[in-house]
Structure 1
């Protein structure tokens, strides 16, 4: 499928969905839309993902319109709202006959203009954050599956939980193990093509939605890598984190953190607790349901040079008392060994 990815004014630093699809998706990316960096290429900013030109608007791809299959919304502001400055690009995509794939809390299919244009041009509005209607409460049975269940947990949002999940699953497969990803957020769903958007599920059903996915695949794989969301201390998103923690009944936890981050992004009046505090919180809250332990760490060192990154990872591992790595920058051998 040939796609364009919308990432206006956020690429690359705050466009984690765009980067996730560029790094792990199997789509052919025609271009990234970003008004601020138009005229450059993805490789000017990020070297280890699929390269593509960056353009100011979808209309810049008019000559390629017949070859485009979809426009993917590759960013999600706090609260998941639709930015009206994106409307022209979505409208243009629908007029070209392209599907539009969105991970926003704002459902494009419920927008009167977009719904009309989609019908007129025979294309689809796919709101991946719209959960199925038949979800139920958890039965507390995820721990009974044959697979080892590994959950990425975080000190905050946007510290690398999805990336860590994808990298560890990929490396486990390369090591000869049957490994699958359990997608719980819009980026993972767009990459894997299935999943439950846990932050949109009714609170009573969040654990059940995770459990359902694990029991569906749990006897077919050696390892299930569950994509974590939020943080157990996040003032807005902690309920989602708790639902995944209890619903997955994970055997092992990987604690993800960003080097140098001291406060919760977007809620800077809230300082991050110490790393040992996070370990104690995640393990003690998980323990009544499943005795998951933090056995490894993943540190996002994107803002550091190589020497500083290596030092930061070593210090993080020492603080954790467990193997750690930057899954993009360094190998994952020690972390995978701890998980095995």
Structure 2
């Protein structure tokens, strides 16, 4: 499928969804919309991903099948400055794929335009309406279940899940990602955005995903939030208990001292988090933190490698930056 990605004024640092789709999806990306960097190219900013031109408006994008909303503001709201580009995309016959809490299908203008031009408004955060509480049976699936957990939001859980999947497949293992957030759903084409699910059903939604994934040697479950996050700890706990993982991978951003969007809250130390995740998991599963991932994208190689080594020492297990060095070392630790 040929797609464009909307990332206005957020690319690349604050466009996690856009970057994830560029790095891991099978879509052909024909353009990225970003007013600040129009006229440049994706690989001017991010190496080792699919390249595409950066343009100012949807009118400049070559013919394509869909427009993906590649940014997700805190709270998942809709930015009115996007309206003209979404309108243009619909008029050009493009489906719209969005991961917002604001459902485009409920927008009167977009709904009428979509009907007129026979396109789909796909709100990937809209959960199934038949979810239930967990039965506690995720542990019964064939194969191992590995959950990526974090010290904060946007700490690399989704990236780690796909890097580990790719590394496992290169070894001949039957591996899959279980997507629990909008970016993973856009990459794989399936999943449930657990942060949109009624709280009583969130663990059940995770359990359903694991059961629906089918038989694999190993499943990498995409975690969300963090256990000590002042706003999102609930979804983190639900995924942890619903997944009943065999193993966990702790993801962290180098130099991160305060919670993103909540500067008055300090991020607990990585070693504190290891104990916290294992303690909260313990009544449901005997999973331990067996590997670590640290995002060193803001550093050069001279700084990054000692930072990775210190992080590994802090948490007492092998660690790496999988985008920089690959995931083989931490896959060994998990297996």
* 1:3 partner SS: strand
Distance in 1 (CA, whole Å) between partners of 2:141 and 2:206 is: 13
Structure 1 unpaired stretches of 5+: none
Hey, what does 1:217 align to over in structure 2? 213
Equivalenced residues, count: 335
Is 1:245 the counterpart of 2:240? The answer is yes
Hey, what does 2:289 align to over in structure 1? 294
Distance in 1 (CA, whole Å) between partners of 2:45 and 2:133 is: 43
Give the Å deviation of 1:216: 2.4
Structure 2 unpaired stretches of 5+: none
Is 1:338 the counterpart of 2:333? The answer is yes
Match of 2:318 among 310, 314, 323: 323
Distance in 2 (CA, whole Å) between partners of 1:205 and 1:124 is: 27
**2:95–2:120 CA contact under 8 A, matched in 1:** yes
Give the Å deviation of 1:332: 1.9
Give the Å deviation of 1:333: 2.1
Hey, what does 1:307 align to over in structure 2? 302
- Residue-by-residue CA offset, 1:76-111 (whole Å, 9 max, x unaligned): 000000000000000101111111000000000000
Hey, what does 2:192 align to over in structure 1? 196
Distance in 2 (CA, whole Å) between partners of 1:69 and 1:334 is: 38
Hey, what does 2:21 align to over in structure 1? 21
Hey, what does 2:32 align to over in structure 1? 32
Which consecutive aligned stretches of 4+ in structure 1 deviate over 4 angstroms post-superposition?
none
Give the Å deviation of 1:334: 1.9
Match of 2:111 among 96, 112, 115: 115
Give the Å deviation of 1:255: 0.1
Give the Å deviation of 1:146: 1.8
Distance in 2 (CA, whole Å) between partners of 1:250 and 1:56 is: 43
Give the Å deviation of 1:331: 2.6
Match of 2:100 among 99, 104, 118: 104
**2:163–2:326 CA contact under 8 A, matched in 1:** no
- Residue-by-residue CA offset, 1:210-237 (whole Å, 9 max, x unaligned): 101112235x111000001000011111
Distance in 1 (CA, whole Å) between partners of 2:57 and 2:330 is: 41
Hey, what does 2:3 align to over in structure 1? 3
User: What RMSD, in angstroms, separates the aligned Cα atoms of the two structures?
Assistant: 0.7
Distance in 2 (CA, whole Å) between partners of 1:274 and 1:183 is: 27
- Residue-by-residue CA offset, 1:115-152 (whole Å, 9 max, x unaligned): 00000111110000000011110001111112110000
Give the Å deviation of 1:42: 0.2
Give the Å deviation of 1:176: 1.1
* 2:273 partner SS: helix
- Residue-by-residue CA offset, 1:171-211 (whole Å, 9 max, x unaligned): 00101111111000000000010001100000010000110
Distance in 1 (CA, whole Å) between partners of 2:167 and 2:288 is: 21
Q: How does 1:75-86 map to 2 (within 5 A)?
A: 75-86=71-82
* 2:278 partner SS: helix
Match of 1:157 among 153, 165, 178: 153
Provide TM-score, normalisation by structure 1. 0.97
* 1:138 partner SS: coil
Distance in 2 (CA, whole Å) between partners of 1:122 and 1:145 is: 40
* 2:325 partner SS: coil
Distance in 1 (CA, whole Å) between partners of 2:115 and 2:5 is: 22
Hey, what does 2:55 align to over in structure 1? 55
* 1:90 partner SS: helix
